[in-house]
Amino acid sequence: MKYGSSLYALLAAMPLLATGTARANDDSTAPIGIFAVACVDLLDKPDTFVEVMSNRGDRVQDPEAREFLRDKQGKAWLVSFEGIPYGFSWADDGTCRVTIMSGEPKELANEFGTLGRMAPVGYTSTMDLTSIDERGWMVHSYTWRGNGEDRAIQMRLSLNPKAGTGLRGNVSARYVAAPR
């Protein structure tokens, strides 16, 4: 799924990521903007995601890779942009994830909510109830379903509510069976 400027611009600018993907503001360098372009725009292009990350980031191994992958099998990279580190990962099950190291939880949740409500033309957006996971983190999620498609895009934001922890949260996207 592609929403904006050419893939070549994305490859050259990663993680500047200035495409037309729906996002809360025009700052494509904000964590949710980076997620929208890296994960949502490339969700059906895992080889391109791996190529971009291999050229832009530093590949990480365990235990850091496990943290970025949330204990799934796959590949992970550390990318620093304007002095802020981000963890990017692609799990073997098709989950694309960005690990966010800093930011205000309320602002991140607001940006994610705006993205979640801004489904592309031809898609409907469904918000799931906000919940608390086993770590005590707030979980926000949206599902985008295309008309007549048998799969949907599920996006999930998990936020650490504790300030000063060094890990603010993670945001992920994957395909799921379309709800009936």
Banded model confidence at residue 10, pLDDT cuts 50, 70, 90: very low
Over the stretch 62-86, which tens digit does the pLDDT of each residue have? 888 888 888 888 999 999 877 888 9
For 122, the 3-state DSSP assignment is coil
Over the stretch 89-138, which tens digit does the pLDDT of each residue have? 999 999 999 999 888 888 899 999 999 999 999 999 999 889 999 888 99
Rounded to two decimals, the pTM is: 0.81
On whether the CB atoms of residues 49 and 38 are closer than 8 A, the answer is yes
> Alpha-carbon distance 36 to 24, whole Å?
10
Over the stretch 40-55, which tens digit does the pLDDT of each residue have? 999 999 999 999 999 9
Q: How would you classify residue 115: left for phi > 0, otherwise alpha for psi between -120 and 50, otherwise beta?
A: alpha
Sequence-ordered list of residues with C-beta below 8 angstroms from that of 67, at least 6 positions apart, any chain: 87, 99, 167
